[in-house]
């Protein structure tokens, strides 16, 4: 160590100084004594003063004292290394290095242990992180699914809300147009109806019989007769149907020919008229009714419904024809330059009213599809309904 090396160097230095100084002082002392004795021997003269001799003696004593002091100092110096060895044992540099190495190893082991602990903690945290990340990804995926479902449900909700509003509006409109049933009943109480329409009904029966006698195809003859009945009905009830249509279109306006045709179909099916099975629901069901009669009574068979639908489309400004196919009667209208065949007898069983969900959304294309599905494979005969007064004589 550095303190021990410095002490040893100091001791060595003092020993060297003592080794040089002591012989020198001893020689001086001896030389001085010899010289003094020689001088004393040589000088026998009584002139030497006693004071000088005393002075020399004192110097001799002083020198002896200094020599004794130096000897004691030398002995003290010589004893210092032994005391140093006894008090502080010498340290082996190799042993010191080994001790430091052991300490470093212990520190390294501690650091390694801490590193292992940190690594273990890191792995544990990483495992938890990965688990949480997986859970997060799952939740994220579920969230996105729920978000899409929510968006779909919102769209459906909005559509349903709109549909509900539409249904309510159509239901309200149906209530309004059904008020015209009372007006139709009033017309049936008039003299005009009782006289004119009774006579026309007699003409229908006889004309049907005569046409068959003439060899005319039955379905063609029936279509012609029904077209004339519509034309005749409009001579008296055009204004009533026009007011019905105007009330409907105030709430459900039409922007083009197709939308107008759709709205007339919806108005027609919103009326509370039922299908009468001949001989079951009404004894005289085979007897054709004028459009105003079906509106008033609310019960009729296929030709009765077809003639009321034809009357409404004729008042709305369409070209209209009565169609007879097999033993069934329907309607055709001209839309955008082509004839569209419409089924006029879609009804609920057991005399139930059609739901508002049907008549609020039905289109002419739906009715055309229904007609073709039922009657598309049969030959159809049709006669267009004309405008203006009828020139046919009867009576």
What whole-number distance in Å separates Cα of residue 179 and Cα of residue 175? 7
Q: Report percent pLDDT > 90 for the chain.
A: 34
Residue 292, pLDDT > 80, answer yes
What whole-number distance in Å separates Cα of residue 60 and Cα of residue 382? 176
Residue 343, pLDDT > 80, answer yes
* pLDDT at residue 198, rounded to an integer: 78
pLDDT band at 306 (very low <50, low <70, confident <90, very high): very high
CA-CA distances (angstroms) from residue 120 to 115, 116, 165, 326? Answer: 8, 6, 65, 90
Task: Write down the H helix ranges in 179-285.
Answer: 180-188, 191-192, 198-213, 218-251, 257-270
Extract the tokens encoding 113.
């242990």
pLDDT band at 32 (very low <50, low <70, confident <90, very high): low
* pLDDT at residue 14, rounded to an integer: 58
* pLDDT at residue 38, rounded to an integer: 44
Q: Report percent pLDDT > 70 for the chain.
A: 71
CA 1 distance to own-chain centroid? 78
pLDDT tens digit sequence for 200-213: 878 777 776 676 65
CA 373 distance to own-chain centroid? 43
* pLDDT at residue 8, rounded to an integer: 54
* pLDDT at residue 1, rounded to an integer: 44
Residue 234, pLDDT > 50, answer yes
Give the number of other Cβ atoms within 10 Å of residue 9's Cβ. 10
Domain boundary assignment for the chain: 43-76+96-177, 190-385
Backbone angles phi, psi at 175, to 5 degrees: -60, -40
Residue 117, pLDDT > 50, answer yes
* pLDDT at residue 39, rounded to an integer: 44
What whole-number distance in Å separates Cα of residue 299 and Cα of residue 341? 23
pLDDT band at 384 (very low <50, low <70, confident <90, very high): very high
> Mean pLDDT of all residues in the chain?
79
* pLDDT at residue 348, rounded to an integer: 63
* pLDDT at residue 20, rounded to an integer: 57
Q: Are 229 and 204 in contact (CB under 8 A)?
A: yes
* pLDDT at residue 43, rounded to an integer: 43
* pLDDT at residue 243, rounded to an integer: 96
* pLDDT at residue 26, rounded to an integer: 54
- Lowest model confidence (mean pLDDT) among 31-40, 302-311, 342-351, 383-392: 31-40
* pLDDT at residue 104, rounded to an integer: 82
User: Higher model confidence: residue 335 or residue 173?
Assistant: 335
Q: Are 306 and 322 in contact (CB under 8 A)?
A: yes
* pLDDT at residue 341, rounded to an integer: 98
Q: Are 386 and 227 in contact (CB under 8 A)?
A: yes
Residues in a beta bridge with 171: none
Residue 395, pLDDT > 80, answer no
What whole-number distance in Å separates Cα of residue 43 and Cα of residue 37? 9
Q: Burial code of 345-376, b = ≥16 C-beta within 10 A, e = fewer?
A: bbbeeeeebbebebbbebebebbbebbeebbe
Backbone angles phi, psi at 104, to 5 degrees: -65, -40
Residue 123, pLDDT > 90, answer no
pLDDT band at 335 (very low <50, low <70, confident <90, very high): very high
pLDDT band at 37 (very low <50, low <70, confident <90, very high): very low
Over its C-alpha atoms, the chain yields an Rg (Å, rounded) of: 69
pLDDT band at 364 (very low <50, low <70, confident <90, very high): very high
What whole-number distance in Å separates Cα of residue 364 and Cα of residue 265? 7
pLDDT tens digit sequence for 248-265: 999 999 999 999 999 999
Q: Are 332 and 299 in contact (CB under 8 A)?
A: no
Look-up of token digits 């006894």: 86
**Longest Cα separation, the chain:** 217
- Lowest model confidence (mean pLDDT) among 62-66, 88-92, 241-245, 390-394: 88-92
* pLDDT at residue 45, rounded to an integer: 46
Residue 239, pLDDT > 70, answer yes
Residue 3, pLDDT > 70, answer no
pLDDT tens digit sequence for 41-98: 444 444 455 666 677 777 777 777 777 776 676 666 666 554 444 455 555 666 667 8
Class of domain 190-385: alpha beta
User: Higher model confidence: residue 284 or residue 275?
Assistant: 275
């Amino acid at each position: 160590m550095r303190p021990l090396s410095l002490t040893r160097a100091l001791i060595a230095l003092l020993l060297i100084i003592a080794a040089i100084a002591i012989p020198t002082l001893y020689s001086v002392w001896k030389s001085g004594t010899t010289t003094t004795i020689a001088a004393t021997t040589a000088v026998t003269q009584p002139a030497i003063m006693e004071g000088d001799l005393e002075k020399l003696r004192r110097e001799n004593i002083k020198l002896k004292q200094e020599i004794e002091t130096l000897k004691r100092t030398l002995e003290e110096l010589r004893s210092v290394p032994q005391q140093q060895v006894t008090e502080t044992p010498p340290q082996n540099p190799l042993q010191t290095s080994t001790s430091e190495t052991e300490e470093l190893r212990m520190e390294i082991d501690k650091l390694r242990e801490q590193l292992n602990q940190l690594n273990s903690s890191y792995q544990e945290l990483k495992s938890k992180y990965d688990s949480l990340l997986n859970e997060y990804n799952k939740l994220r995926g579920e969230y996105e699914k729920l978000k899409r479902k929510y968006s779909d449900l919102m769209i459906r909700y909005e559509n349903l809300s709109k549909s509900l509003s539409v249904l309510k509006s159509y239901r309200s409109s149906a209530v309004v147009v059904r008020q015209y049933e009372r007006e139709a009943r009033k017309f049936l109480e008039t003299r005009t109806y009782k006289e004119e329409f009774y006579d026309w009904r007699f003409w229908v029966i006889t004309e049907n019989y005569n046409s068959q006698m003439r060899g005319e195809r039955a379905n063609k003859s029936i279509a012609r007769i029904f077209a004339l009945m519509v034309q005749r009905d409009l001579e008296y009830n055009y204004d009533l149907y026009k007011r019905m249509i105007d009330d409907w279109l105030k709430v459900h306006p039409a922007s083009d020919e197709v939308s107008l045709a759709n709205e007339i179909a919806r108005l027609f099916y919103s009326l509370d008229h039922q299908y009468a099975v001949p001989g079951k629901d009404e004894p005289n069901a085979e007897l054709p009714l004028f459009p105003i009669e079906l509106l008033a009574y609310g019960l009729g068979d296929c030709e009765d419904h077809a003639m009321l639908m034809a009357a409404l489309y004729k008042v709305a400004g369409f070209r209209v024809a009565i169609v007879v196919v097999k033993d069934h009667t329907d309607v055709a209208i001209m839309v955008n330059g082509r004839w569209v065949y419409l089924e006029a007898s879609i009804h609920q069983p057991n005399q139930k009213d059609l739901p508002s969900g049907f008549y609020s959304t039905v289109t002419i294309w739906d009715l055309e599809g229904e007609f073709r599905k039922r009657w598309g494979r049969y030959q159809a005969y049709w006669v267009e309904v004309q405008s203006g007064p009828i020139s046919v004589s009867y009576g």
